[in-house]
Each structure stands twice: as C-alpha cells, then as structure tokens.
Amino acid sequence: MWFVLFLVLFSPFISAEFDMKPVLQDILVPKNLSENITARLFCSIKKGKNLKFDWYLNNDKLETNDERRIVSHEESSELVIKSLSINDIGEIKCICKNQYGEDVQKAFLLFNGNKSQIFNF
C-alpha cells in the first residue's frame, strides 16, 4: 500500500528526469583559429538522457574520415577538423536527439585572410 502511494505521489518527479528532450549548450570553439591547424569544436548538453549526436557542415552530415574525426560520449560530442581549410567555411551544426525530441546549436565559420572567425547563433 505504501509503495503504491509512493509511486503515485512521486512518479512525476522520477520520470521527469528521464523523459526530457535534450537541451544543448552553445558550441564551444577555440579562439584564434587559422588555416592548416587542428580545430576542436565541442557540443555538450545541459539536460537529457539516451542521446545521439550528429554534426553537419552546410547541411551535409559529417562522418569520421581522413579530414575530420567525431568522438561522442554520453553527454558531449567533439568534432576535430585535422587541418582547417577553406572547405570548412560555413554553418556548423550539432544536433542532439533522443526519443523525446532534439535540440540544435549552430556556429558559422568564416575566414578573414589566414584567420578564421566563428560566430555562435
């Protein structure tokens, strides 16, 4: 009887922790990026469980290859661009999904001469 009463009273609080769509923090990018250096971008969550991360550049899904590496953990994902180039200019998106929904954070990478600039939006 007491167990049933406990479940009835506290089940909204217990399930609320697990039944939530992800909420992302801003993409973390290093300052003073320049061409031909390794760039590491980080995407992490404020809340959410059972997550899957995907990275996009100009709406093209990125995969690990010779030029880029994606390493995802339970609460974060890292995009490593091994040699930053003009081909990396554009909108970078980190999308985090679970069974309850998704969240997206975006940054825009621009080159100004040999220096790059990244803007979060």
The whole-number pLDDT of residue 115 equals 57
| Other Cβ atoms within 10 Å of 112 Cβ, number | 7
In a domain, 13, yes or no: no
In a domain, 83, yes or no: yes
Give the total residue count for the chain: 121
- CATH no. for residue 43? 2.60.40.10
The whole-number pLDDT of residue 6 equals 45
77 to 6, 34, 44, 50: CA distances (angstroms) = 37, 22, 6, 13
In a domain, 39, yes or no: yes
Q: Determine the structural domain holding residue 96 and report its residue range.
A: 21-120
Please write the tens of the pLDDT for every residue from 60-108. 999 999 999 999 999 999 999 999 988 998 999 999 999 999 999 999 8
In a domain, 3, yes or no: no
| Other Cβ atoms within 10 Å of 80 Cβ, number | 14
In a domain, 7, yes or no: no
Please write the tens of the pLDDT for every residue from 106-118. 998 876 655 555 5
The whole-number pLDDT of residue 119 equals 58
d(CA 40, CA 73): 15
In a domain, 97, yes or no: yes
